[in-house]
Amino acid sequence: MFKSALACSLLLAMSPIAVADVTAEDSFAFRVGAFYASSDSYMNVTNPETGGIFPLDFEDDLFLAEDQFLPFFEFVWSFNDRHHVYVDWKSLHRTANTPYVEDTWIFTNPNDDKTYIVEAGAQLKTTLNIDIMRLGYGYDLFQGDDYTFGASIGLHTMFIKTAFEGTIGLCSPTVMANSACNDFVANPRVVDESLTAPLPDIGIYGTYEFIPGWTIGGHAQYFAIKYDDVKGSLIDIRASVETNVGDNWQLSVGYNYYEVDVDYAQNVSFGDQDFHLADYNLNYSFTGPRFSVQYHF
């Protein structure tokens, strides 16, 4: 079965509205925006004839877009003067057509545990959809008239949908006995792999109002985990400047460095032996400027 452990991270508590407007009353903030994402993702797959492992790059080999704008939304509930609960969502959906696959490789569909082969020269349509949700809590450790500094804990979940459609072969169940894939049946179809993995993170955040109505803020978050055949890490660093454009509206411009790196091995068993199929390295570096508008009440 296709096992995954996916790491995903974040924190919205950096939001100036969530930390700078310190009152005893509850307050709520909604933020929508976009940032420019530069993505890098690949998996180490197996050559069925030689048994050798090589990297299959989603952007370079399968032609998925490397750079594009990424939409997001955020919600923050602030209460009891220092406490903040936040949730947000961002999506990166990409599809591309590869007219000619350079190398032959095999993989297993976790939905049916069957082994599939994509041969060199095949045409392939690839979909890689990534949705990231975060839920967390922040607490203001220090407060002043024009500054706030706090710490946060959170839970990040990444939803990944990978689909291959085109000239795909279905390998014989006995193929793994000799690490070859000569016996297969042509079976053009969509092979879909979906996985989720919630992981914790810790972080710090702060804001400073350097002139009335203008605030600079930032946050940094990190986590790392390793268990079984899975290891992963996340770094999330953000800095931004926000200004009031009305009684309840703010505009924000900033820069975000956001990198998730997850590795997990995929193996199948045949008889009393285990055979290696692929090492999936999912490296998503969302790095670039971000813009947003926020409403609070």
Q: What is the pTM of this model?
A: 0.73
Radius of gyration for the chain, computed over Cα atoms and rounded to the nearest angstrom: 23
Sort strands 53-57 and 83-98 into parallel, antiparallel or unpaired.
Answer: unpaired
Every domain of the chain and the residues it spans: 32-296
Q: Which helix (H) or strand (E) holds 48?
A: none
- Given a cut of 90, whether residue 205 has pLDDT beyond it is yes
Say if residues 64 and 58 touch (Cβ distance below 8 Å): yes
Quote the CA–CA distance of 20 and 18 in Å, as a whole number.
6
> Percent of the chain beyond pLDDT 70?
71
How confident is residue 195, by pLDDT bands cut at 50, 70 and 90?
low
- What is the per-residue pLDDT across 18-34, written as a single tens digit (0 to 9) for each? 333 434 579 999 999 98
The whole-chain average pLDDT of the chain stands at: 77
H or E stretch covering 272: none
Q: Between 145 and 276, name the one with better pLDDT.
A: 145
pLDDT at 32: 94
Q: In 10 A of CB 176, how many CB atoms? A: 24
Give the per-residue pLDDT at 96. Answer: 94
Pick the CATH number of 32-296 from 1.10.3470, 2.60.40, 2.40.128, 3.40.50: 2.40.128
**At residue 6, does pLDDT exceed 60?**
no
Reported as a single tens digit per residue, the pLDDT across 145-159 is 999 999 999 988 777
Rounded CA-CA distance 196/160 in Å is: 7
pLDDT of residue 208: 97
Instruction: Determine phi and psi for 48, rounding to 5 degrees.
Output: -70, -20
Residue 77's alpha-carbon distances to 4, 137, 271, in angstroms, are 32, 10, 54
pLDDT the model gives residue 179: 46
Span 55-73, pLDDT tens digits: 888 899 999 998 888 888 9
Alpha carbons 295 and 97: distance in angstroms, whole number: 40
Confidence grade of residue 186 (pLDDT, cut at 50, 70, 90): low
